[in-house]
Structure 1
Amino acid sequence: MSRQGIRPQPLPPGVKVDFNALKAPAGYVPGMGRGAAGFTTRSDIGPSMPAPDVQQDKKDDGGGDEGKFDAFLGNDAGVLGATAVYDEEDREADNVWDNIEDRMEERRKERREAKLKEELEKFRAENPKIQEQFADLKRKLADVPVDQWEAIPDIGDYTVKKQKLDKFTPVPDSLLAGAAARDATASAIDARGAGGLETPMGGATTDLTAIGAGRNTVVQLKLDKISDSVSGQTVVDPKGYLTDLKSVTLKSDAEISDIKKARLLLKSVISTNPRHAPGWIAAARLEEVAGKLQQARELMMKGCEMCPNNEDVWLEAARLQTPENAKALLARGVAALPDSVKLWMQAARLEQSDEAKKRVLLRALERIPQSVRLWKAVVEISEEDDARVLLSRAVECCPQHVELWMALARLETYENARKVLNKARQAVPTSAEVWITASKLEEANGQAAMPEKIVPRGIKSLAANGVVIDREWWLKEAESSEKSQPPMVSTCRAIVKEVVGHGVEEEDRKRTWMADAEECMRRGSIETARAIYAHALSVFPGKKSIWRRAAQLEKAHGSPESLDALLRKAVQYCPQAEVLWLMAAKEKWLSGDVAGARSILEEAFVRNPDSEEIWLAAFKVEFESAELDRARLILAKAREHPPASTARVWMKSAMVEREAGDAAAERGLLQEGIRRFPYFWKLHIMLGQLEERLGNTDAARLAYAAGIKRCLDAVPLWVAAARLEEGSGNIAKARALLEQARLKNPKNPQLWLAAVRTEVRAQNTKAAEALMAKALQDCPDSGILWAETINMAPRPQRKTRSVDALKKCNDDPHVVAAVASLFWHERKVDKARSWFNRAVTLNPDVGDTWAAWWRFEGQHSGPEQQEAVLKRCLAAEPRYGERWQRVAKDPAFAHQKPEAVLKRVAADLDKPL
C-alpha cells in the first residue's frame, strides 16, 4: 500500500492509463488501512458557496502547476493535488514511517561501524606502525648500560640537500680601508675644534692610554695604603676586593621601600612604648637585615637602657656585639638580672677555656643554687672528683631532681652509691628510676638475687605513694636493662615477672603475653621474651603451644643445654604432646647423642603407646644411623600394634627392605600394604618403581595401572606411568596417558609440565610450544609453567618471557629463581644474587634454588659467599624441588648429609629433568 492508502491494480502489458483522469473509488476512505473510520464531510456534498473560478485563480497565481502542490507529493500530486487533504492521520502515519526508517538507518549504522572497525583492525594488523614493530627493541633499550650509551658516536653532517656554492667577489681596497678607519678606537683627542681650527691654547693632543694607566696606578696605591694599617691588621684584601664586590647583594627598589616602611613602623612602636622589648629587638634585626650593623647595635644599647629587666634584650644586644664587647655587656646584664639563667649560660659560652666557664657558672650558682641547668653545665666540664663534690652540693640544693641523684650514684663507690640511692628514694618517693638503678647496682656488684627483692618492693612502694604502674613503660625499662653494658639480665627478669600481668584481663593473658614475646623478639630483646615465656609457663604449665614457642626461642638463641632442659620440663608437664617428645629426641639426635634420643623415645613410647609419629621417629633414628636391623624390628612391632599399623608404617618398612637390597621382602610388604591400604598411592608408585628397577616393565605397567585405577587424583602416578611408556619407546601412549590424566584432573600444572617435557625430550619443539601455550591458558597463574616457559624460550626472547611471567605471578619462587638464572647467564652478578636471595626468602623449602645459588656464588664470588649460602641452606632444611628429591631419595645416595645433597644437586643442574 502506498502512503496515501491507494493500492494500484495490475495492467495488461502495453496499456497506459492516465491516472490524473481517474476518480477516487466509491466509498474510498483515506487512511482506512491504518485504522481510520469513514464519515461524511462538507467535501462529500459540495460547498455551500459557489466554487471560485479556477482558471481565474490560475491566472492570478501566475499559471502553471503551482496550484497542484501537495505537502507530501509536491508538484507531482496530479489529480490528488487539487482534491486530497493532508490531515493529522496522514501526518501520524508519516511519522511512523519516518521512525521506522530512522530505526533501520540506526541498525545499518551499527553494522556499518562494526564492519568499518573490523576492516580497520585487519588493516592495522597487516600494516603495523613502526613503533609497534620495534616495541621489543625499545624494551631492550632499558637494559643498555650507561657506558654503551656514551660510546655511541655522534653522526656527521649527512645532509642530502645540494649545498649552495657561495660566489666570492673581491672587495676594493678603498672600501676595506674606509671600514677600518670607521671602526678604529681613538687613543688620543685632538685639541683642535671639530672644524679643524686650532684652539687659542695651541695644538695640544690628549693621550687616553696614558690616562688609563695613571688611573690604575692611583687605585693600586690606595688599595695598598688601606691594606696596611697602623696596627698591622689587613682591612681590605686587594686580591679578593673584586670578589667581595660581586658577593654584595643589591636590593631591589621594592625591598628598599619595604625596609623603609618597616623602619618607620618600628620607630613609631619604640617611640610610643619605649618599654616594649620586642619592639627594640625587631628594629635592631631590621637594621641588621638591611646591612646596617652599627645602627642595630645602637638600637639594642638604647633598648638595654629602656628595658633593663628583660633578658631577651640583653641576649640580643650581646649577639650583635663582638665577643669582648659582648662579655662586658653581659656583665651589665647579670648585674641587672642576677637570677637570669640564660644570661649566665650565655656569659659562660663566651669564655674560651673550661676554667673560665667554670668560674662563671660557679658565680651563677652562688646566686641561683636551685638551677639544675647550671649544675649540669658545671658538672660536665669538671673532673671526676670535682664533679662528685659538686653533685653532692647539687642534690642538697635540688633534692627533687632524680637525674642529679643518678649522676652522683654513678660516681660514688658501691657502698656510698647505696647510701645515695636510699637518700634519693626518701627525697623522691615517686621515682621509679631510683628503684631500677638500685636493682642494677646490686646486680652489677654480684648480687644477682637482689633484683628479685628490690623490684617488687619498689613497685609496692610506688603504688602506695599514688604512682600509676605503666606496664608498657616498665617493659621498655626491662628491654633497656637487657641491652645495657653489661646486660642486667636479673633486673630484666624481675621487672617482667612483676609487671607482665599487671592490668591484663584473665581471659586475655595468654594471647597478650604471646604477642608481647613476639614483639620483644622482633626488636631483638631475647631475654625479655624469654622471661615472658617463663612467666607464662608458670601460669599455664599445661599449654604445649607455649612450650613449643619457648623451645623455638631457645633453639634459635639459646644453648643446647638450655634447650634440652626446657624440653625435659615440657614433656613432664605435657606428656601427651607428641611434638614435644619429637623435638627433644630430634635435638638429641642432631647433637650426635643417639643413645639420648633412644632413651627419650623409649619414655615417649611408655606415655604414648599408640602414636604413629613416635614409632616413625624411633625408626628414623635407627634408619639414619644405619642400624637397619633395629629399624626393621621397630617397624615390625609397629605393624603388629594395630593403632600404629598405618600406611606410612608399611611404606617405611618397604624402604628398609629397599635399603637392605631384599627385593622379594620389599615386594611382599608393598603388596600386603596395598591390600590393607588400597588408596594410599605411594605404595603403588613404590611397587611400580621396584618392578621398573628390576626390569619388569609389564609388572611395573600393571602396578601403575592398578594405582591409577584406585587413585585418579594421584598426579605422580600418572607421570610415572607416562615416563615408563616413554622409556619403552611408546611416545604416543605416554601422550595419551597424560591427556587422560588432564581430563581426570583439570587445571593441574604438573600434568601440563610433564606433557611439555615429554615433547621436549622427543625433540618436538613445535608441539612443546603449542602445549605450553595451552597450559598457560588453562593455568595462567602457575609459577612452574612460567618458569619452564622462560627456560624453553630462545635466548633473545627470555627477557620478554620473564617480563610476562612477573606480570602474572610476581611473588612465585619458581619464576623468581628462573629470572635469577637468566641474570646469571647474562653475567649480571649483583642482580642475580639479589633475585636468588628473593627466591629463597619467598620459599626456603625449595632445594633446587639453594643449589643454583650455591653454584652461582662458586663461579662469581669466593668461598666466603658460598659458605654463607650453605649455612642458610642448612638452617632452612629444604625438602622439595624436583632435582633435590631425585637426589635425596636415590637409594645409592641414602644417609647423606644435606651439605652433600646440595653439592650433588648443584653438579646436576645442567642435566635435563
Structure 2
Amino acid sequence: FFYKAEYSKAQTLAQRAHKHSDGQSKAIKAESCYHIARCYHAQSDYKAALQWYLDAHKANPEYLAPQFGLGQMHMVHDDPKKAAVCFERVHKAQPKNVEALKVLGHLYAHEGRTSEALKLLSTAAELAPKDAAVWLELAQLQQKMPGQLAAALKAYEKAATILKLTPGKMPAELWNNLGAIRQKLGKLETAEQAYTFALQVARRQGATGDFDAPCISTQFNFGRLYEERGELDKAKEHYKQILENYPNYPEAFLRLAACEEATGNYQDAIGWNQKALMVHARSPDAFCSLGNLYLAVGDLRMAEMQFKAVLKFEKCEKDSYATIQLAWIQIQLARAGATPSEPLTVACRTRDGEDKVNKAVASLKQVLESEPNNLYAANGLGTACVAKGRLHEARQIFTQVREASSGGECGAATTNLAQLNAATGEYATAAALYEGAAKRKAPNGSKQTHLRLLQARSHFDHAKWSECRQVLQQAAITMPESQVVWHNLGLVYLAAARHPQARLYVESIEKPPPRSVEVVEVAQRHAALARNIFSPEEPDQAMLAAALEGEEEG
C-alpha cells in the first residue's frame, strides 16, 4: 500500500502491528514504528514522522532503516549536527552504503569539514561510478577547495557524461558550471562550447530569448570569456545588453568597471562602480571593487574608506577580503615617502612604518585563524615578510601559495615571487615567472602590459637584449599608445648598440676588442631606431614599424 501511495491503509496496518507488538519482539515494534513514520514522512507531516522515527530507534537501536528518515527529519529542522550522527551510525555499520556516504559527505561539507567530506564523496564515487548525483556533489565540493579545480572539472564531466544518456535530465546549470571551471583553467575554447550548450539546453527547457532569466548567468560568463580573450569591446557590449534586460544586475556594472580598468580608463571604471552603488548601496563587492580602483590610482585614503565601509555592514564585520586589502594599505602607508623605484624593504626603516607593517601582519593572521586555507592572506604575509627584510621566509610563502593555487586563484603570489627573484639577481627565473603570470591576464589589457614590462626589465638587467626586445615589441603591438613601452624599447635598442665592453674604453682601462663589420652595422641600425623613438619631433613611422620587427642582433 505504501508504494501505491495509499498511505492511510499502510498506516492502519502498521499501527495494528505496533499495537500487537507490546511484549513481543523489539524488531517488530521498531519496524512498525518505522513504517508509520514513513507514511507521515511521505505526507509531509514531519513533526509526527520525527517522533515515530525516534520511537523506532528507541525500540531497536541496531535497526538502521529509521536512521535515514531520522537524519532527513533533522535536516528538515535545520539541525545538521544531529543529522550527521544518524548517518554516521549507518556508515559505521555499513561502510560501503553509498546513500549514507553521499549525505554524510554533504553534511560534512556544510560544516566546513572539507577533508572528511572529500574522502567520503570520493569513496561514494568509486562505489557508484554511474551515480551522477555523487559526481555533482563531489564537483561542487572540489570547486570550493584550493588546488582542486582540475579534479572538479573531471567530476563535472563525469556527471555530464552520465546525464547525457538520460533525455531531459541535463540541467543548463551543469553546463554553465562546467564552462566556468574550464575557463578558470584556461580552456577557453571548450568553455565556450559548454556555455553554448547551456543556452541550447535552457531554450529546450522553455527559455524564449538569449537573455531570459534562465540564460542570464551563462550570458554573464560569456562576457567574462570575452574579457579573458582580450575582446574587451565585445565584453562591454555584452554586459550592456545584460543591463538592458536586467538594469539592476550588479555584477554587470562591476565587470564594465573591470573592462575600463583593464585599458587604463580608471575614471570611467570608477564611474561604473559608482553606478553599481547607486543601484545597490550596500553591496560589499561594489565597495571592494571601488576600493581596488582607488588603490590602482594611488589614492590610499579613499581606498581605505571603501574597505572600512564593508566591515561596517551586518555580517561583514570580519570580511576576509576587505581585511586583507586594509592590511595591504597599511603596508603601502608604511613606505610612504619612499620613491616608487625603492624596494618594499624600506617600509620598516622607521618606527611608524614598522608599526603599520605589524598591524597588517596582525590583521592577516586574524584572517588565517578563521580561514587557514586563505591564499590571499598567506600571500599578504609573504609581502609583509619582504617589508621586514625576511626574504627567505617570503620566498617560502610565495612558493607555497603559488603551488596551492594551481588553478590560478592567487596569481599575485607568482608576481611577488618573480619580483623577489629579480631583486635577488635571479633574472632568468623572474622572467619565466612573469611570463606565466602575464599569460593569465587578459590580452590587450594594462595588467598584462605591466607584467610584460617587468619581464622585460628582468631580461634587461640580465643583459639579454634580444629577449628583452622581443617582449617589448609584443607589448608595443598590443598597446601601441603606451609611451612607457616605447621608451623602454628605445633603451633596449640603445643598450644593444653599445659595445659590450664599452665601460673599459670610457674608463680608459684598456681598449676593447674590435667588432666585425656586420656587428657594427647592426649596432648602427639599433642606434638609429633608438634615436627615432627618443626624437622630440614626430617619429618616422617606417622606422617605428621597423623597431617592431623581430630582427636578430649581431
Q: TM-score, normalised by structure 2?
A: 0.41
Say which structure, 1 or 2, has more relative contact order (CA 8 Å, 6+ apart): 2
Q: TM-score, normalised by structure 1?
A: 0.27
Work out which of the two has the higher radius of gyration on C-alpha atoms and give 1 or 2. 1
